[in-house]
Structure 1
Amino acid sequence: MRAASRRRTGPTRPEVTMPAEAQSTFYNLLHADDSRDPAAEADVLLRIIRARRPHATSLLDVACGAGDHLRHLLPYLAVAEGVAVDAAMAGAARGALPGTTIHEAALPELDLGRRYDVVTCLHDALAQFPLSGYHAVLRVLARHLAPGGLIMIAPFWMPDAAIRRTASEALTRGDDGRAVTRIERGVPRDGAHRVEHHALVADGDGVRHVADTRLLRAFGRREHLSALAAAGCAADFLPAGLAGRPLLIGVRR
């Protein structure tokens, strides 16, 4: 995750600067989506795997975050590994899932030297690439699939839904006494979606402000299917396939 740049806007609004490592520590708080249920989504994935590749024994979860989905998939596969896109997130995933293999790699350079029955990417990591980069990364992911293997991608919101999602907010309280107020704002810009995440985190050490801004691309159904076909995968698009959210399923030829 890339730390957002900061600037002081006035003497009455001091900014709290946090290093990238600290930002990643608060990744789940900053990017939490209370409408998602990782356990339910993992159950959907397992049902699809059993139906379409019943003898699957290995899975690679790409851009695995802190391992929210991976922890629910681990008990059902002989090999279940994750890929984190930076050192801080790799550390967070390894801390959450001790003993699990978590690779650290930028997605365009990913080369693990082996193939898996299933590759998943369930966060917005792929939406950070323009269409040409999206095609390139899908080719990289497809190269990690065994023939007949499944690739499952939960894309960023589809174009019309992304435009409607202009702002949202949430307040959560943890059992540890920590309170978090989150606000998200999205603005269409140059064919993409500029998404700003802010969080105020209050605990015994004080109140901290964490922020992150990303430019995300909301590709349409045809663009997704074309990209998977170019990567050598026959593909389906399920508009509500992942517990009510869009899901792309490719089969490696």
Structure 2
Amino acid sequence: MRRDVLASSYRDEKPEVMMPVEAARSTFYDLVHVDSSRDHAVEAQALLRIVRARHPESSSVLDVACGAGEHLRHLIPHVAVAEGVAVDAPMAAAARQALPGTTIHEAELPHLDVGRTFDVVTCLHDALARFPLSGYRAVLRALARHLAPGGLMILAPIWMPDQATRRTAREALTRAEDGRTVAHMARGIPRDGAHRLERHFLVADGDSVRHVEDTRVLRAFGRREHLSALAAAGCGGDFLSVGLAGRRLLIGVRR
């Protein structure tokens, strides 16, 4: 068995995260990022209900930090224009493979610029929680620049301070049709007002078994910080008490 411990450091404006580089370069990338606890079809339908209620004339959506396109695949049939943004090359490749013919951009979030605006911009995974407050505010400004006037910014899942202080543990086993298998164990612990998430993967196929370790810090801001960041990005906003993955949705409206 080979053990790969992977780490990288970022300046303050970037998220503090150690990405599983070995997994990203292997054929296990799609399985490592599977979250079987979330029903993306159900979540996409919940998003569409919000959009229809708040901005019924919407016809375009940009899904930021779209992963392998899990939500985007369920949004595409309902809008005229649907595009995604991946935060690294391996995930962009996974999304393009999963959604052939769909435009998938690759960009660092604070510097996002796809050259057009949309009626709806979403960010539905943990990408925003990886930034310190200054970086979070910069990302929201970048997202707002991609919104048409009156457009909706839908952000989830939003981590709040009470969630960051909980200790968590989980496990999962994922198998692909081609026989690739990933065993996943994780624990989350509070640290300095944030949630330190440590994840370990055993990734196996017919050639090898590898251990990949991934650690990231998920930050939690209070209601005031979230709404202030939206206001600085030129958006009004409010929270929905019922959101996705057990955490609140933050809704912004471009002024």
TM alignment of 1:1-253, pairs within 5 A: 4-5=6-7, 19=22, 21-22=24-25, 25-242=27-244, 244-253=246-255
CA separation of 1:232/1:18 partners in 2, compared to 1, >3 Å: closer, same or farther?
closer
SS at match of 2:231: helix
User: 1:189-226 CA distances to partner (integer Å, 9 max, x unpaired)?
Assistant: 22322211111122222322222211221122222122
**Number of equivalenced pairs:** 240
Between 1:172-181 and 1:233-242, the stretch displaced more is 172-181
SS at match of 1:164: coil
User: 1:34-90 CA distances to partner (integer Å, 9 max, x unpaired)?
Assistant: 221111100001111111111111100001111000010011111100011111111
Is 2:158–2:247's contact at 8 Å kept on the other side of the alignment? Answer: no
Task: Report runs of 4+ in structure 1 exceeding 6 Å deviation.
Answer: none
Question: How far apart are the structure 1 equivalents of 2:35 and 2:129?
Answer: 17
SS at match of 2:41: helix
Question: How far apart are the structure 2 equivalents of 1:32 and 1:204?
Answer: 21
TM-score normalised by structure 1 residue count: 0.87
Task: Give, in angstroms, the shift of residue 31 of structure 1.
Answer: 3.6
Question: How far apart are the structure 1 equivalents of 2:156 and 2:220?
Answer: 12
Question: How far apart are the structure 1 equivalents of 2:148 and 2:131?
Answer: 25
Is 1:40–1:243's contact at 8 Å kept on the other side of the alignment? Answer: no
Question: How far apart are the structure 1 equivalents of 2:173 and 2:55?
Answer: 40
2:17 is matched with which residue?
none
- Larger RCO: 1 or 2 (CA < 8 Å, sep 6+): 2
Computed over aligned residues only, the root mean square deviation of the Cα atoms, in angstroms, reads: 2.1
CA separation of 1:194/1:241 partners in 2, compared to 1, >3 Å: closer, same or farther?
closer
CA separation of 1:244/1:187 partners in 2, compared to 1, >3 Å: closer, same or farther?
closer
Is 1:30–1:210's contact at 8 Å kept on the other side of the alignment? Answer: no
Question: How far apart are the structure 2 equivalents of 1:178 and 1:89?
Answer: 18
Question: How far apart are the structure 1 equivalents of 2:35 and 2:218?
Answer: 16
Is 2:164–2:219's contact at 8 Å kept on the other side of the alignment? Answer: no
Is 1:158–1:218's contact at 8 Å kept on the other side of the alignment? Answer: yes
Task: Give, in angstroms, the shift of residue 172 of structure 1.
Answer: 3.3
SS at match of 2:225: helix
Between 1:192-201 and 1:237-246, the stretch displaced more is 237-246
Instruction: Give the gaps of 5 or more residues in structure 1.
Output: 7-16
**Identity, % of aligned positions:** 73
TM-score normalised by structure 2 residue count: 0.86
Instruction: Give the gaps of 5 or more residues in structure 2.
Output: 9-19
